[in-house]
C-alpha cells in the first residue's frame, strides 16, 4: 500500500511540474459551433461589427471577425466597457429578445447597464431595460448598448449577442453564405484585465428617491439587526433545550 501511495505521489508531482513548465496556451473563441446558424440567420441580421468603448478614456475598438486578428483592450478590474451593436429582427412573428455577452469561461464581467433603441419605422428614445427582455417586432432594427464592468484579472475573448425566444442565442457575427463549417468567425475583441477581483457593483451608489442614497454591497441597518436577533434567538433556543433536557433527566431519575 505504501508503494502505491509513493507512486501516485510521484505521478502527481511530475504532472504538476509538466504543467508549470508548459508554455501558456490561449485560444480565441473564434467560432461558435453550438449555434444553428441557418436558424439564427433566418431571425437576426447583425448590421455591423460591435464597437467597444473604454469608459475611462473614450478609446474605441471595433470588434474583428478575422481569425487570429483581434485588438486587445488593457483594463484594470473595476473599469467599464460600453459595447454598442445593431441588429435587425427578421422573424415572422413578435418574440421576446434579450442581450448578452460571453467569454470562453464567463464570470469575467458584470452587467451594470442594458439599453435598447427601437430604430425604425418609428424612432423611439433609448430605453433602459435592466434585467428584462424586450419585444422583437418583425422587420425592425434595434441599437443595443451593454455597459460591462471588468471584475476579475483575466485575458479573455469577449463577444456580444442577442437571444431570441423559442429560437436560441446568436453571437454577433457577419452574415456569410454559404455558412462555413463551425459557423462564421464571430466578432470579438481581447480584454486583458489586471488587478484584484471586484464585485460587479462595488463602490456604486443608487439613488432611491425619498429614501436617499443607498450604498450597495454594504450591510443595511435592518440586516445587521436581523442577524443579531437571529443569533440571540438561536442561543436562547439552545439554552431552553439544554434546560429541558436536564429537567427530563431529573424527572426520569425521580421516577
Q: By C-alpha distance, which of 178, 161, 185, 31 is closest to 83?
A: 161
The pLDDT score that the predictor gives to residue 28 is 52
Tell me the three cell numbers of residue 137. Answer: 417586432
Cβ distance 120 to 140 under 8 Å? yes
Cα distance between residue 2 and residue 15, in whole Å: 20
The pLDDT score that the predictor gives to residue 124 is 63
Least confident residue range of 49-63, 76-90, 109-123: 109-123
- Quickly state the pLDDT bin for 55 (edges 50, 70, 90): very high
Residue 105 predicted with pLDDT over 90: no
The pLDDT score that the predictor gives to residue 10 is 46
Write down the domain spans for the chain. 26-205
The pLDDT score that the predictor gives to residue 1 is 47
The pLDDT score that the predictor gives to residue 71 is 86
- Quickly state the pLDDT bin for 196 (edges 50, 70, 90): very high
CATH architecture label of 26-205: Sandwich (2.60)
pLDDT in tens, 219-232: 555 556 666 778 88
Question: How many residues make up the chain in this entry?
Answer: 255
Residue 213 predicted with pLDDT over 60: no
pLDDT in tens, 21-32: 333 344 456 877
Residue 189 predicted with pLDDT over 80: yes
Cα distance between residue 118 and residue 140, in whole Å: 8
Q: What mean pLDDT comes out for the span 105-117? A: 87
Cα distance between residue 241 and residue 208, in whole Å: 44
The pLDDT score that the predictor gives to residue 247 is 84
Q: What mean pLDDT comes out for the span 112-133? A: 73
Cα distance between residue 183 and residue 236, in whole Å: 63
Least confident residue range of 69-73, 166-170, 195-199: 69-73
Residue 58 predicted with pLDDT over 80: yes
The pLDDT score that the predictor gives to residue 237 is 87
Number of neighbouring beta carbons within 10 Å of residue 78: 18
The pLDDT score that the predictor gives to residue 69 is 75
The pLDDT score that the predictor gives to residue 94 is 94
The residue that leads in pLDDT, 247 or 166, is: 166
Q: What mean pLDDT comes out for the span 86-94? A: 95
Residue 155 predicted with pLDDT over 80: yes
* SS3 of the chain: CHHHHHHHHHHHHHHHHHHHHCCCCCCCCCCCCCCCHHHHHHHEEECCCCEEEECCCCCEEECECECCECCEEEEECCCEEEEEEEEEECCCCCEEEEEEEECCCCCCEEEEEEEEEECCCCCCCCEECCCCCEEECCCCEEEEEEEEEECCCCEEEEEEEEEECCCEEEECCCCCCCCCCCCCCCCEEEEEEECCCCCCCCCCEEECHHHCEEECCCCCHHHHHHHHHHHHHHHHHHHHHHHHHHHHHHHHHHC
Amino acid at each position: 500500500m505504501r508503494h502505491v501511495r509513493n507512486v501516485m505521489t510521484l505521478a502527481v508531482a511530475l504532472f504538476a511540474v509538466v504543467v508549470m513548465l508548459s508554455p501558456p496556451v490561449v485560444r480565441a473563441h473564434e467560432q461558435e459551433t453550438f449555434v444553428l446558424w441557418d436558424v439564427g440567420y433566418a431571425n437576426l441580421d447583425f448590421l455591423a461589427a460591435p464597437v467597444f468603448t473604454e469608459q475611462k478614456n473614450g478609446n474605441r475598438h471595433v470588434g474583428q471577425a478575422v481569425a487570429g486578428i483581434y485588438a486587445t483592450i488593457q483594463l484594470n478590474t473595476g473599469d467599464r466597457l460600453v459595447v454598442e451593436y445593431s441588429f435587425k429582427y427578421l422573424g415572422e412573428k413578435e418574440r421576446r429578445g434579450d442581450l448578452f455577452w460571453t467569454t470562453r469561461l464567463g464570470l469575467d464581467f458584470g452587467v451594470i447597464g442594458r439599453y435598447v433603441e427601437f430604430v425604425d419605422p418609428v424612432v423611439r428614445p433609448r430605453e433602459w431595460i435592466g434585467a428584462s427582455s424586450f419585444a422583437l417586432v418583425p422587420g425592425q432594427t434595434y441599437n443595443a448598448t451593454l455597459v460591462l464592468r471588468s471584475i476579475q484579472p483575466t485575458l479573455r475573448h469577449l463577444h456580444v449577442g442577442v437571444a431570441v425566444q423559442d429560437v436560441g442565442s446568436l453571437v454577433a457575427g457577419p452574415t456569410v453564405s454559404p455558412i462555413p463549417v463551425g459557423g462564421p468567425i464571430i466578432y470579438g475583441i481581447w480584454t486583458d484585465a489586471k488587478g484584484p477581483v471586484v464585485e460587479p457593483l462595488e463602490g456604486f451608489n443608487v439613488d432611491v428617491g425619498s429614501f436617499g442614497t443607498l450604498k450597495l454591497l454594504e450591510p443595511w441597518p435592518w440586516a445587521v439587526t436581523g442577524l443579531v436577533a437571529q443569533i440571540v434567538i438561536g442561543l436562547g433556543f439552545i439554552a431552553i433545550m439544554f434546560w429541558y433536557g436536564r429537567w427530563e433527566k431529573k424527572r426520569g431519575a425521580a421516577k
